[in-house]
């Protein structure tokens, strides 16, 4: 079951699929003042088999100072796709989890690999030529690894009651 400390292959692959299809991913940290802070991260990816992931970091804001004080993170990925949401709302239940939360520990910044940068550029290829996309997503030179320790489902009442 999701939420157990021991992650199994089935829940890992389900989380990977949801993250790949997500239309929004955010990373929550705790600041040095104890206040929560949420940052959108469009480049988050999970490893195919190992319980870890990474994100490319370009506009980190307060994220580095928060992670310096406390490396714990919680990442939320929200299911993407208009058809998923329309079908679910029409039927009155979700055909799969609407979102997932990943609890983990972030590592230090490191140089992003060519493969990581290319994988992300492939993900945004449809909008890559637009002015805003060039500003946001070129020059992604550093990455941050995260070890995933727990997968928590997001439930929304009777639409997705049992996970």
- Chain segment 17-45, per-residue pLDDT in tens: 999 888 889 999 998 888 898 988 888 98
Beta-carbon contacts of 117 under 8 Å, excluding residues fewer than 6 positions away, are 56, 140
Average pLDDT over every residue of 141-159: 86
**pTM listed for this prediction:** 0.82
Q: Measured between alpha carbons, how far is 123 from 97 in angstroms, rounded to an integer? A: 22
Continuous segment of H or E residues that includes residue 110: strand 99-111
Give the pLDDT band (50/70/90) at residue 125: low
Average pLDDT over every residue of 1-11: 64
Domains, in order of start, for the chain: 9-154 (2.30.110.10)
Q: Measured between alpha carbons, how far is 95 from 36 in angstroms, rounded to an integer? A: 31
Report residue 56 as tokens.
């490319």
């Amino acid at each position: 079951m999701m939420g157990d400390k021991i992650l199994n292959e089935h829940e890992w692959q389900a989380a990977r699929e949801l993250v790949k299809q997500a239309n929004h991913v955010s990373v929550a940290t705790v600041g040095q003042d104890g206040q929560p802070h949420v940052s959108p991260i469009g480049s988050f990816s999970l490893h195919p088999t190992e319980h870890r992931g990474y994100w490319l970091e370009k506009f980190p804001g307060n994220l580095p100072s928060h992670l310096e004080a406390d490396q714990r993170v919680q990442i939320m990925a929200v299911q993407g796709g208009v058809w998923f949401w329309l079908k679910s709302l029409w039927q009155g239940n979700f055909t799969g989890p609407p979102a997932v939360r990943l609890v983990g520990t972030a590592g230090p910044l490191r140089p992003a690999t060519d493969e990581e940068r290319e994988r992300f550029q492939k993900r945004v290829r449809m909008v890559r030529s637009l002015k805003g996309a060039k500003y946001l997503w070129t020059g992604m030179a550093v990455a941050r690894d995260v070890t995933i320790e727990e997968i928590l489902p997001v439930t929304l009442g009777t639409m997705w009651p049992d996970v």
